[in-house]
A and B are shown apart, each in its own frame.
Chain A
Amino acid sequence: MSSTLSRNLIQFFRNRGLFRVIVVFLTLSVTQATAEKAAAQPARLVVLAPNLVELIYSLGGGAQIVATTDHADYPAAALSIPRVGNYVGIQLEKVLALKPDAILVWETGTPTADILKMQQLGLKVVSFKTTQLEDIADQLRQLGVLVQQQVKAEELASAYLQRLTDLRQQYQSETAVSVFYELWDNPLSTISRDAWPQQHLKVCGATNIFENASAAYPQVGLEQVIAADPAIIIQPISKNEPRTLVQWQRWPELKAIKNNQIIQPDSDLLHRATLRTLDGVASLCREISKSRQFYTQVPATSGR
């Protein structure tokens, strides 16, 4: 019955806030892209993922992007690229009319039906998918070939991987500290082992209290958080898309609240797979490390 459709719609719009946060993950991309042969002329690219746009700008190839999707907002220059759709649908007519040399899609975020249609229309579609932090370096190299900046891509990729290794060496062996990652407040949602930000927590040597939940982005109950009593509560917030937060102060007995250990990292950095991701991870690790030190100094409230 149409009432079910309406119900789905209502549910969707109710969760739209959460959805937006998830959309930022749209930017999880990379790997699996087929290596492309360098063309003599700069390729005209339609880039259907914000993180790929940002990586191409990092390589100095921003001028080659002829169209992109909503949410491609970094760097500022990206805001002036014409838009041809979003995660719901791509305006295929516009894509065709632009006569691009290649279309860069993000495997899980670009609508599958549109990807298939573009392939049917004979357009060259290059697919990207990101699952690990290392994938960003691979993507850089592949994009370097597409925008003919292989040398720069190699430099950036190596520097990125070196920084990732350094961060891991610095934090991973430190004392584990339990954290709750508040992805969204209503419905209260968090991350588990299959979610993208879980890797950040791993680099920082933090233990996610919901690591073993079956869904990647599970909804959880306040009671479960209270029962687990994490040492740190992480509330990622975005400058571009403000959101409401759980008022944890209502639960003063929680270890994290009693000791004032709430961290509010920049979700724009953490949730988008680009070169800036490690800035966000480094900052998150520093904050977690400070908390760890705090708990070490106050042994009675150990954060383990």
Chain B
Amino acid sequence: MTKYLYSIRWLLLLLLLIFSCVWCLNTGAVALNWQLLWPCIFTECHALTEQQILLELRLPRILLGLVAGAGLALSGALLQNLSRNMLADPYLFGIISGAGLGATIATLFLPQYAIALPLAAFAGALLAMVLVLGFATLGGWRRLDTVVLAGVAVSFLLSAVTSLLLYQSEAFAANRVMFWLMGSLARADYQALAIITPCLILCFVLGCLFRRQLDALQWSDQTAHSLGVAVLPVRLLFLLLTAALTACIVAYCGGIGFVGLMIPHLVRLLFGGKTIVLLSGSMLCGGLFLIWVDAGARTLLPTQEIPLGVITSGIGSLFFLLLLSRKGNHTL
């Protein structure tokens, strides 16, 4: 790829992102006038309802979409590189099941406190992560596969507890948790942004600082060792960081599948696999992807919203099948 073409791609991606933000801001269940956008957001708006729709409903949703999409894709990219497993995704540690358990407990026992749900979901995600990492530590971190399999086991264990709790609860609690797990940006507010954004920035900055180590890890542990990389500490640091970032996102947005798995693959196809390129590209594409998915979720059906996870998993699985058929017998 010539350098010129390469730069054009980045420029196009940035322009597309800016255009998409503006477009999505003006897209929703209620049709708003384009001319209202600027004054309502930046100066004074005469129409209170429109201003509320823009500033309190759409803007936080779009910002959360950008941050959550970027975060999931960044976590996915980091995990895939750390584990050299192209099928790794941010829900590796049974995080979604842990968050689901937390959400269930909050929904059933503390329904009157709005903050209980994200807090409990975060605590549940952390519990899953601690269980998996604890198990991996006991096993002496010999194989990364063990971590992945422990994630699967913990995931099933926590799901079983969730199912038991839901089964014993009133009928609607099960629905609420089920729909929460399907993912949505409807809970978006500035508090969610204030929590997720710093985690995202920290992950990205550390990813950039450790780019050489992460690049080396893509070869093999031995190669990385011989290049002077402290394999275990670096890996543990980023596993913890991505798990914390994902837990924050899941706590506010529920389960949004496939973003973390699909976007890094797309970025590798478009921009290549060097760590810094992969991380920046994943963040931009992840955010871009999620705001479009959310715009679709808000507007595709005339009288209701579609859960985000349904769309992302639908698109993601099709993308994967397409990729597999194109790759043929080659490994991903």
> Which residues of A line the B interface, CB within 8 A?
1-9, 12, 19, 22, 25-26, 70, 82-89, 91-94, 96-97, 99, 108-109, 111-114, 116-117, 120-121, 194, 214-219
CA distance A87 to B152 in the complex (A): 31
- Hey, which chain A residues are within 8 Å of B175, CB to CB? 19, 22, 87
B170-212 toward A: CB 8 Å interface, digit per residue (1/0)? 1111011011011010110100000000000000000000000
Q: Does B238 contact A (CB under 8 A)?
A: no
CA distance A2 to B260 in the complex (A): 10
* Pick from B92, B114, B304, B310: contact of A91, CB under 8 Å: B304
> Chain A CB within 10 Å — which of B58, B114, B171, B307 has the most?
B171
Given contacts A91-B29, A93-B28, A116-B114, contact A4 B171 (CB under 8 A): no
Query: A130 CB to closest chain B CB, in angstroms?
Result: 12
B86-112 toward A: CB 8 Å interface, digit per residue (1/0)? 000101101011001000000100010
Given contacts A114-B186, A121-B56, contact A83 B309 (CB under 8 A): no
A-B contact pairs, 7 of them (CB 8 A): A1-B97, A8-B159, A9-B313, A25-B171, A86-B304, A94-B30, A214-B168
* Pick from A5, A70, A219: contact of B313, CB under 8 Å: A5
- Hey, which chain B residues are within 8 Å of A22, CB to CB? 171-172, 175
* Pick from B179, B181, B310: contact of A111, CB under 8 Å: B179
Query: B89 CB to closest chain A CB, in angstroms?
Result: 6
Query: B263 CB to closest chain A CB, in angstroms?
Result: 13
Which B13-68 residues have a C-beta within 8 angstroms of A?
28-30, 49, 52-53, 56-58
* Pick from A19, A89, A214: contact of B304, CB under 8 Å: A89
Is the CB–CB distance between A6 and B29 below 8 Å?
no
Q: Which A-chain residue is minimally distant from B260 (CB atoms)?
A: A2
Is the CB–CB distance between B30 and A97 below 8 Å?
yes
Is the CB–CB distance between B151 and A84 below 8 Å?
no
Query: A22 CB to closest chain B CB, in angstroms?
Result: 4
> Which residues of B line the A interface, CB within 8 A?
28-30, 49, 52-53, 56-58, 89, 91-92, 94, 96-97, 100, 107, 111, 114, 117, 151-152, 155-156, 159, 167-173, 175-176, 178-179, 181-182, 184, 186-187, 189, 255, 257-258, 261, 298, 302-305, 307, 309-310, 313
* Pick from A9, A83, A99: contact of B182, CB under 8 Å: A9
> Chain B CB within 10 Å — which of A1, A22, A83 has the most?
A1
Given contacts A92-B186, A112-B107, 14 further A-B contacts (CB under 8 A): A5-B91, A6-B257, A9-B309, A85-B303, A86-B303, A88-B304, A88-B305, A91-B298, A91-B305, A92-B57, A94-B29, A96-B52, A96-B53, A108-B170
Query: A246 CB to closest chain B CB, in angstroms?
Result: 20
Query: B160 CB to closest chain A CB, in angstroms?
Result: 11
Is the CB–CB distance between A89 and B94 below 8 Å?
no
Is the CB–CB distance between B91 and A1 below 8 Å?
yes
Is the CB–CB distance between A2 and B89 below 8 Å?
yes
Q: Which A-chain residue is minimally distant from B312 (CB atoms)?
A: A2
Q: Which B-chain residue is minimally distant from A26 (CB atoms)?
A: B172
Query: B236 CB to closest chain A CB, in angstroms?
Result: 20
Given contacts A2-B89, A22-B171, A111-B176, contact A84 B303 (CB under 8 A): yes
CA distance A83 to B304 in the complex (A): 8
Is the CB–CB distance between B179 and A88 below 8 Å?
yes
Q: Which B-chain residue is minimally distant from A106 (CB atoms)?
A: B172
> Chain A CB within 10 Å — which of B169, B175, B257 has the most?
B175
- Hey, which chain B residues are within 8 Å of A7, CB to CB? 159
Given contacts A5-B91, A85-B305, contact A96 B257 (CB under 8 A): no
4 closest pairs, A vs B, by CB? A83-B303, A2-B257, A5-B255, A93-B30
Is the CB–CB distance between B49 and A97 below 8 Å?
yes
Is the CB–CB distance between B167 and A215 below 8 Å?
yes
Is the CB–CB distance between B29 and A112 below 8 Å?
no
Is the CB–CB distance between B171 and A93 below 8 Å?
no
* Pick from A4, A8, A88, A112: contact of B111, CB under 8 Å: A112
CA distance A218 to B310 in the complex (A): 28
Query: B54 CB to closest chain A CB, in angstroms?
Result: 10
